[in-house]
Structure 1
Amino acid sequence: MQTDDPSCAGGKVIVVTGSILRRADTETPSPVTVLSSESLDKRGLFTVQDGLQSLAANNGPALTNSFSANGAFAAGASAISLRGLSTNSTLVLFDGQRAAYYPLADDGTRNFVDLNTIPDDIVERVEILRDGASSAYGADAIAGVVNIITKRQVKGLTASLNAGISERGDASQYRISVTGGVGDIEENGYNAYLSGFYYKSNKLMNKDRGYPFNSDDERGVCSPDGQTCGPDLRVNAPDGVFPGTAANLIVRPYDATNTTAQGRFQDLGTNGCALGTPYTLTDDQFAANPASPRTVCTLDYTNLYGTISPEIERWGVSGKFTAAVTDSIEGYAEFNFLQSTVNYTSLPATIRGNAPTGILFPQFSTSGTGGALAPGSFALSLPIYVCANGLPDPRGVATGCNATNGTLNPNNPFAANGQTARIAGRILDRVTYNETRSRAYRGAVGFSGDITDNIGFNLSATAMHIDLRRLQRGYVQINNLLTAIARGSYNFVNPSLNTQAQQDFISPDLVNNASSDQVAFDGNLQSSVFDLPGGPLTVAIGGSIRYEAVDAPSGNPDYNGPTQRYFTLNAFGTKGSRWVYSAYGEVEAPIIEQVTVNASGRYDSYSSGQSNFSPKIGVKFQPVRSLLIRGTYSKGFRIPSFGEANALPTTGYVTASPVPFTNFFLNQYGCTTATFTSCPAYVRNFSYGQTTLASPNLQPEKSRSFTGGVFFEPIRGLSLSVDYYNIKKTGVITQPSNTPALLAYYAGQPIPTGYTVVPDAPDLANPNALPRIAFVQSQLVNANTQRVSGLDFGIDSDVGITDSIRWSSHLEASYIIKLETEFPDGTVERYDGTAGNYNLTAGSGTSKWKGYWLNSLTFGDKVELSLTTNYFGGYDYSAQDQGTGYKDCSLITGVAGDPGYSPSGCSVDEYWTFDLQGKVRVNDRFTLTATVMNMFDNLPPVEVTTYGAHLYNPVQGGNGIYGRYFRMGAKVNF
């Protein structure tokens, strides 16, 4: 909630996150972590977002800025996931008030608040409530609450400049800010301040980091015994996939009806391996790949195009005016504007690829395509004849052109033989580009104070609007491509000869605009009712009205037909709005001096038809001054997000585990998990699309949580805390586990009710074998029960070593005891300490341990040295939601305890980094800082399964992938 004063000095009261009561005691029954602007400075962090991502309690499916460059649905945004319960179970507040959702949903379904909208320079502190708080704030506060509290007043002028660059001379960043304020609320009756900043972070490419992060050739990534090494996944490499995504444009002759192959693929044009390396297949490889040409092109996409972190540019302006209306009433008005632009380049444009599941045409196939095809997929072919008025047709056999009205197709080398040419590959000189530009506007006003000596009040109103512009350039529009094919108006033999107009025709810019809104009015009254032995019994009551909306239309719809869209771009999108009416109350009863009981409750009613009552009770027992025992019990809820209730079909791709396919391998290809590395590439290197269908009939998720902890201060300046948490969510909104559908398909059994399995195109080398799965579709349901429990540890000290030297220390660590999901059939999947929940974490896993330790030495008031030790625990490669046993890697491949070629066997190593900062106060006005981040240049451990980044975990690795990094800063006060 909004602070009345940044400290309790002078007997003034504050409002603590999770309570609507103003108090002088910051210790509540609920555990609270405070992230101050001073601690961020000591750690050399530029932004509050960086500090929140490093929280010990942030784990599992967090969303980092770097994930934007690796296909994130919510590109351009950052979000945390307290307790590993996903981004939509953590509530983010600004001065105790809700903020607008980021218009794009995480994985197309989970709404969240973008941490990049935080106005860093006016943040006084961030309070992280590590407990459920639906009784105070309503929906989404299941795992905890992050409350960003802005400064009450600023006096004078402060300017700062910070810059950083890696030891390798890349990934540079800089930040400039100016903040100025006039007036003193106590002395002058008012304060007004204005703040502005500019921040730029340059992109980092995979090629700028060493092996293996810079290559698709994983043969140097080996198991501990050195006997099993990774595959060569460069496109068209001998161990790679052929010809799924050819490195260059290739064609294969088919008969005039485009149904029967007449030969092998061959290069189209004379460029050959313009960016790659030719490789001649051995006789065995040539025989095993009946569609392949004798010489293929190896192209390392990661090395050429891979992006580790995108380019980020942000700037913003904030202002606040606070005035003493009377001796006992204070009012404020605040505004914030922040623009964030994130962009990155990706792979070259594909001209044959699966366009993810559509909206009105989920399964698009045509006759004459030579077998079952994935949704939105077809056999793209160059026809025999082209003409000026040719009509687009994906079959390549009926374009409206013939020998009478057309000419032989100059792009089809088989046209003179009366054959069509199936075409595959990428246009290497047409690199795709993605950019998001978000603009956040926020305004807030409020009044608080005392009506009488015994009655206080708080009134506030806030409005926030975010508009998001997403630009995607270089992606091929299917219908325009088919038109160009039919008319012969695009040069496929040598794409570099096409004019800009020809390029723009087949891949016009896709600009999609989305927005979100939040408007809220809140008011409450507090009063001391009567005295108890321990002090006054205090009561607060209040109510609020809130409007929230998201309008994020699909960027790739097929409303006008299955070809009226782009290759490879997802079709997700959502739109919705609702009003929320709430009433809440809180009672604090100091039963005796040593025992205080706090009880609160809130009723929320949604215009969409849902309602919920959330109670909470907390007790703190302080038998002696140095010992505090605390505990809470609460119930909460999470309302179905707009993405879950109203979204268009969303397809996310997950790596296919070999486990469900054992019988498939044995029966169809003569190989098993024990001989997995000898299986054909068709089944060895692929992922399948997980298509989520929204449901308007979803009910809120319900939660039950309790905490219990001890806060111990044996001596002044030293405190220790341990807190246990236990959260249970029921009616969890989820897509059913894909495992039953996978097992049934590969066992040749009927697909279970509620699933649709879409087969992929057949294997070219084994056309009569059972095709692998392309898509699994299912609708969201309230079905599961999710449980998480763990321990939080904290140590703080502030000790004078000599008269002029002080040592301060802050340690926080979190340990997940168990994180699991129970399904309606009673089966349980456990994820803590593993790569699961794979479908939520993008394979980034859920480590059991995470924490950091900050130590600082101050020498007088001039010099300060700080060392931060960062720790992220390792985890097991198994993932039960991908069909493996809990921590049982023997089910991943036949190599027991080894997922194939991991350098750490069955596990991802733990990760340590150390940051060192020095600060010198030259005088009262001027301060210099120098920081070495990751001082031992320890790059993240290799992670061979995640798809959130290339061969490392973006949540675990964080900014560690930059390597040793230097930062300098200067601050001037006037």
Structure 2
Amino acid sequence: MFTRNIARTLRAGTALSALTLATSLLAVPAFAQDTAPTPTADQTAPAADEAPEIVVTGSLFATKVTTSPVTTVTADTLDAKGITTVQDGLQRLAANNGPTLTNSFSANGAFAGGASAISLRGLSTNSTLVLFDGMRAAYYPLADDATRNFVDLNTIPDDIIDRVEVLKDGASSSYGADAIAGVVNIITKRSFQGVSARAEAGVSQDGIAASQRFSVTAGTGDLDRDGFNAYISGFYFHSDAVYTKDLRAPFNSDDQTSIGGPNNLVNGDNFAPTYAGSNIYAAPGSGGRYQLLQSGCANGNLTQTTAAQQAASGLLPTSICQQDLTNQYGVVAPQVDRFGVSAHVAKTFGDSTEAYLEVNFQQSRSQYSGAASSIYANAPAGIYYAPFSTRGTGAAFAPGSGALTLPVYVCAARVNCTAANGTLNPNNPFAASGQTATIIGAMPNLTRNDETRSRVFRAAAGVKGTFGDDWNYKIDATAMHTDLRRTMNGYVYIQHLLDVIADGSYNFVNPAANSQATLNYLAPELNVDASSDLYQVQASVNKSLFELPGGPAQLGFGGSFFYEAVDSPSANSDINGPTQRYFTINAFGTKGNRTVTSGFGELSLPVLKQVELNLSGRYDHYSTGQGYFSPKVGAKITPIDMLTVRGTWSRGFRIPSFGESNALPTTGYVTNSAGLFNDAYLAQYGCSVATFSTACPQYLRTASYGQTTLASPDLKPEKSRSITLGAVFTPMRNVSLSVDYFNIKKTDAITSLSSAAALQAYYSGQAIPAGYTVIPDAVDPANPSALPRVAYVQSHYVNANTQKAEGIDFGANARFNVGAVTWTSNLDATLMLELSTTLADGTRETYVDTLGNYNLTAGSGTFRWKGSWMNSFAIGNYTVTGTANYTSGYDLSAMDQGNAYKDCGLAPSPAYTGCRVKSYFTFDLNMTAKVADKFTIYANVLNLFDRLPDYDPVTYGAYLYNPVQAGDGIYGRRFSVGAKVNF
């Protein structure tokens, strides 16, 4: 299989793929992110008199050469690359693929808004375990897609980080649940002396994406000499919100004609009851053409529709407000403000005991303004009532039309209004003739505003030393609490909308005339508080047992007890009735807690000087009834001094998340694409799959369907089997090359079942498969005889699938002194050979080089290649560093959307989009000057060549581009300058 996958890659890959593989096969592995015996690909190689880094992640024994591949990210490395935060550095790791969660995605409707998480091996955020100093951290209170628990990378206190060790191997035998794809261990400074301060500011050349950073750290005492050290550190970070209108074409407009695409501005060609923009239109209740309800356009430009357009639709107004909704309301990244303070105290006792106490506080605020407030939209599925929308038959709705109805009379009682107890409705232009009026559009003077504010409180303490006959011990305890407040403004409360319609208190004719009190009643501010907790105590001992030919045999064992909890109530519960809630705010929520008791052990056996074996295992028991044993076997073989061959085999598990086992229904929305439909169905609407983007009505092509998933309390843990095989080659001092193959297989994978089968059955007129419920949307008023599109597909979480991730990590580290110049080079690259899911019925979906897993990744896809190559040149007090970043392209298809593999099935129109999104390459330049003994200034240019990503009309995490592939490159060339002072 391994050989076949490489052959397939050579046939299908890019020129870079072929070149890199040829290099690996002909020039001995030139690769790996490792600490062995020189540091890792994300770490500067040591000078001749420096010792290699000791790795502490994934083992009870600190070591220089690990059996598992480990990448070390240091603050110095990030500075050299011009990267501002640790979370940004982790997002750029080559091993981070697929459904990663970026800060920018929180401004595009992400469930876990305001947070960031990585996805090693593309196996999702819940299969990568994040630790602080080897201890677990509290989950972010909101789950990714309302199901996947993860630790928010924004909680990392950047300025006290010594390094981050990224173990890219299964590690359940050491840490238990969630370590299927790997572990991110954030290691804080053991001690700090003196004062260090930094100030930095940056902005793109277009004047957007401005950011500022300030920090100061002060410490006293030499821990090794005086037996005491204490330091305190504080920071502030700010980045501006970026809106779609700030970007360059074509990423800033619904008008895609510059790239050969359609003009999707609200206009006479695509105007529809579900796509009318943020103005209000009214039509007689008996039927007929819509007209602007207000005088002129509250938003957009008033234009006349043509006779041909009016003839094509009897609903089309003679005058409409042409609007560019993307330009007016689109958001690229939220405004982010973070600040925090940390304090650390360490003290030694005698010759062998050391204790520490650390406390951290951090606040992070993320906020942005979104789209106009909708009055024709779903209130996502609750638990007590069926999904509610304006397609209901209440007094304020036109039965079957999906449009709100303005009554003939309004009155203070709001019900049974007549001429006797009320007045003619001033908002209804047809009231005088005794007709109701149906209205469409969105509120002209209300926009949605979202803010998340998280406060993280953490304390950790520990002691380590020796006792008895050379036993080493380590005891740690940690407590972490996260408070999260979500504040939402501008969302229309359904019952209040019905109230102001019935009593006439809202002025639809002149929205600007409404008082703030009326607007506040229509869209009351919503505050929702959530929290998470983690408390853990862990103890371990280890000892050298006896001598073997290769060195001392070592035994270690220990135990752990931790409690974790999430309390995240629904922001939009329907417990009080289907109208006592908001439009568009998702109804998800969860609450749960559990305790976990664990025992673990490890045995290191250097049976020969050239051969070392490592055996480890851990048993975890959950208060919810689940238990699992995780074994691991590793081996290192050193046939010659310059070559180490290594490998591991392990089993692991992922416990069902709180969202999967105990949550309200979760509804995620996926934008309709041509691949969902078939020609027979689309013929009802006068179009076909081939003409979907140009001829199909807006009712179909811009709408989304909801995927509603119901929790299952009896889920089993996911199980995994991991294999790594690799080699580390050190042909000379300060040069390290390595290659590592990984193969991960997950069984009993928890899934919400792909909606593809249910959608295909519905649109083909066949029976809906067992396990699904399909809820149709409202009938399209322009096509009343056509079968409506799907509004929701409902299913339960099940242990059903098998997932597989397979690939190769490459890395190279070198340092050379050439005269007065010191040249440091570092390569970090990952080739994904396979990422696939085998469904319960045996159907296999494969995702590499496509947009799949489409639902899991927000359509951002799985990249075959991802990597960076850093080269740094130091001359005296001056250093220049260049970093090349590469992410491969992909086919516009996804097998979990009913496509065949790489069949271009999601491309709206291959005639103008093509079938592939091109690869993306950027180059960053950083320059540092030590202008005085304690004063350093620096400047960097990210995306030096000002390259923008290829346009992607399908990915729904951003507009017309892939936010995971592009990252901050969408801003174009970006500059930052800063200064550091050390005393």
- TM-score, structure 2 as length reference: 0.93
Shift of the 73–934 alpha-carbon distance from structure 1 to 2, 3 Å rule, reads: same
- Which runs of 5 or more structure 2 residues have no equivalent in the other structure? 1-38
Pick one of 816, 834, 843 that aligns with 1:818: 834
Matches within 5 A, 1:734-883: 734-802=751-819, 804-860=820-876, 862-883=877-898
1:17 aligned residue: 57
The verdict on how the C-alpha distance between 1:871 and 1:893 changes in structure 2, with shifts beyond 3 A counting, is: closer
Q: 2:552 aligns with which of 536, 539, 559?
A: 536
* Residue from 702, 706, 717 that aligns with 2:719: 702
Give the secondary-structure state (helix, strand or coil) at the position aligned to 2:649.
Answer: strand
SS state of the match for residue 741, structure 1?
A: helix
Verify the 8 A CA contact 2:273 2:440 in the aligned structure 1.
Answer: no
Distance 1:718 1:106 in 2: 40
In structure 2, the partner of 1:321 is: 345
Q: Deviations over 1:917-963 (max 9, x none)?
A: 11011122100101111111112221110110111111111111121
Change (3 A) 1:622 1:217: same
User: How many Å apart are 1:609 and its aligned residue?
Assistant: 1.1
The structure 2 residue matched to 1:268, chosen from 284, 287, 293, is 293
C-alpha contact (below 8 Å) 1:100/1:464 kept by paired residues = yes
Distance 1:806 1:648 in 2: 58
* Distance in 2 of aligned mates of 1:578 and 1:85: 24
8 Å CA contact 2:273–2:781 kept in 1: the answer is: no
Secondary structure (helix, strand or coil) at the match of 1:232 reads coil
Say whether the 8 Å CA contact 1:232–1:238 is kept in structure 2.
Answer: no
Question: 2:245: which partner in 1?
Answer: 207
Number of the residue aligned with 1:665: 681
Tell whether the 8 Å contact from 2:907 to 2:915 is kept in structure 1 after alignment: no
Residue 929 (str. 1) matches residue 938 (str. 2): yes
What is the Cα deviation at residue 529 of structure 1? 1.5
Partner of 2:234: 196
Which residue number in structure 1 is paired with residue 279 of structure 2?
Answer: 248
- In structure 2, the residue matched to 1:294 is 318
Deviates more, 1:435-444 or 1:740-749: 740-749
Cα offset for 1:275? 2.6
Residues 372 and 760 of structure 1 are in contact (CA less than 8 Å); yes or no, is this contact kept in structure 2? no
Q: Distance in 1 between matches of 2:432 and 2:324?
A: 35
1:628 and 1:651 map into 2 onto residues whose CA distance is: 49
Q: Which whole-Å CA distance do the structure 2 matches of 1:141 and 1:563 have between them?
A: 43
Separation in 1 of the partners of 2:777 and 2:53?
64
1:231, 1:643 → 2: CA distance? Answer: 40
Letter in 1 for 2:385: F
Question: In the TM superposition, what is the alpha-carbon distance from 1:133 to its structure 2 partner?
Answer: 0.2
Deviations 1:479-526 (A, max 9, x none): 111111111111111111111111100000010000000000000110
Is 2:925 the counterpart of 1:916? yes
Alignment partners' CA distance in 2, 1:240 and 1:819: 41
Q: Which secondary structure does the structure 2 equivalent of 1:950 belong to? A: coil
State the shift of 1:877 in Å. Answer: 0.6
Q: Which moved more, 1:236-245 or 1:151-160?
A: 236-245
CA distance in 2, matches of 1:475, 1:611: 44
Query: Which of 906, 909, 912 pairs up with 1:901?
Result: 912
Residue identity in the other structure for 2:221: G
Offset, 1:687: 2.1
Q: 1:500 to 1:148 in 2, by over 3 A?
A: same
Would the aligned equivalents of 1:232 and 1:240 in 2 still touch at CA under 8 Å? no
Q: 1:11 Cα deviation (Å)?
A: 8.8
Quick one: which of 264, 268, 271 aligns to 1:233?
264
Aligned to 1:179: 217
> Which stretch shifts more, 772-781 or 356-365?
356-365
Q: Is the 8 A contact 2:103 2:333 kept in 1?
A: yes
**8 A contact 2:180–2:720 mirrored in 1:** yes
Contact kept in structure 1, 2:893 and 2:907, CA below 8 Å: no
C-alpha offsets along residues 802-859 of structure 1, whole Å, 9 cap, x if unaligned? 1x21100111000100111000111111101101110011111111100111110011
The alpha carbon displacement at 1:683 in A equals 2.8
Amino acid at match of 1:528: S
CA distance 1:791–1:649, change in 2 (3 Å): same
Q: 1:959 — aligned with what?
A: 968
Q: Tell me, what secondary structure is at the counterpart of 2:429?
A: coil
Q: Secondary structure of 1:220's match?
A: helix
1:563 and 2:563 aligned: no
One-letter amino acid of the structure 1 residue matched with residue 733 of structure 2: R
Of the three residues 130, 149, 162, the one matched with 2:200 is 162
1:593-621 deviation digits (Å, cap 9, x = unpaired): 11000010000011111111100000010
Is the contact made by 2:271 and 2:316 (CA closer than 8 Å) also made in structure 1?
Answer: no
Superposition map of 1:433-452 within 5 A? 433-452=449-468
The offset of 1:86, in angstroms, is 0.6
Q: Is the 2:292–2:319 contact (alpha carbons within 8 Å) kept by the matching residues of 1?
A: no
Structure-2 change in CA distance of 1:660 and 1:162 (3 Å)? closer
Query: 1:459/1:408 Cα in 2 relative to 1: closer, same or farther (>3 Å)?
Result: same
Q: Matches of 2:450 and 2:676 in 1, distance apart? A: 35
Q: Aligned partner of 1:354: which letter? A: N
Aligned letter for 1:517? D
Residue identity in the other structure for 2:722: S
Corresponding pairs, count: 934
Query: How far, CA to CA, are the matches of 1:132 and 1:916 in structure 2?
Result: 35
Shift of 1:360: 1.0
CA RMSD of aligned residues (A): 1.9
Rounded to whole Å, the distance in 2 between the matches of 1:453 and 1:826 is 56
Question: In 2 relative to 1, CA 667–951 (structure 1 residues): closer, same or farther, beyond 3 Å?
Answer: closer
Query: For residues 91 and 973 of structure 1, do their structure 2 counterparts lie closer, same or farther at Cα, with a shift above 3 Å needed?
Result: same
Code of the residue aligned with 2:899 in structure 1: it is T
1:444-843 equivalence runs, <5 A: 444-665=460-681, 667-676=683-692, 677-802=694-819, 804-843=820-859
Structure 2 residue identity aligned to 1:907? R
Could you say what secondary structure the match of 2:256 adopts?
coil
Within a 5 Å distance, the mapping from 1:375-414 to structure 2 comes to 379-390=403-414, 399-414=415-430
Contact 2:279 2:442 in 1 (8 A): yes
Separation (CA, whole Å) in 2 of partners of 1:355 and 1:664 = 31
Equivalence for 2:368: 344
- Whether the 8 Å contact between 1:236 and 1:246 is mirrored in structure 2 is no
Given that 1:329 and 1:450 are in contact with CA atoms closer than 8 Å, whether structure 2 keeps it comes out as yes
Report the counterpart of residue 357 of structure 1 in structure 2: 381
Moved more, 484-493 or 604-613: 484-493
Q: Is the 8 A contact 2:491 2:523 kept in 1?
A: yes
Tell me, which stretches of 5 or more residues in structure 1 are unaligned? 223-229, 255-260, 391-398
**Is 1:658–1:673's contact at 8 Å kept on the other side of the alignment?**
yes
The Cα of 1:667 is off from its aligned counterpart by: 4.8
Q: Kindly tell me: are residues 678 and 426 of structure 1, through their superposed partners in 2, closer, same or farther at Cα, counting changes over 3 Å?
A: closer
Give distance in 2, aligned partners of 1:634 and 1:526.
Answer: 22
Amino acid at match of 1:747: S
**Residue 331 in 1 paired to residue 347 in 2?**
no
Equivalent position of 1:396 in the other structure: none
Q: Which moved more, 1:529-538 or 1:805-814?
A: 529-538
Q: Does 1:74 align with 2:103?
A: no
The residue type paired with residue 651 of structure 1 is T
Which whole-Å CA distance do the structure 2 matches of 1:621 and 1:404 have between them? 95
Separation (CA, whole Å) in 2 of partners of 1:574 and 1:892: 33
Q: 1:328 to 1:54 in 2, by over 3 A?
A: same
* Contact 1:474 1:508 (C-alpha < 8 Å) held by counterparts: yes
TM superposition shift of 1:666: 5.4
CA positional deviation for 1:281 = 2.8
Aligned mates of 2:540, 2:452 — CA distance in 1: 39
Inter-CA distance 622–429: structure 2 relative to 1 (3 Å threshold): same
8 Å CA contact retained: 1:236, 1:247: no
Secondary structure of 2:80's counterpart equals helix
Opposite residue 627 of structure 2, the aligned amino acid is: S
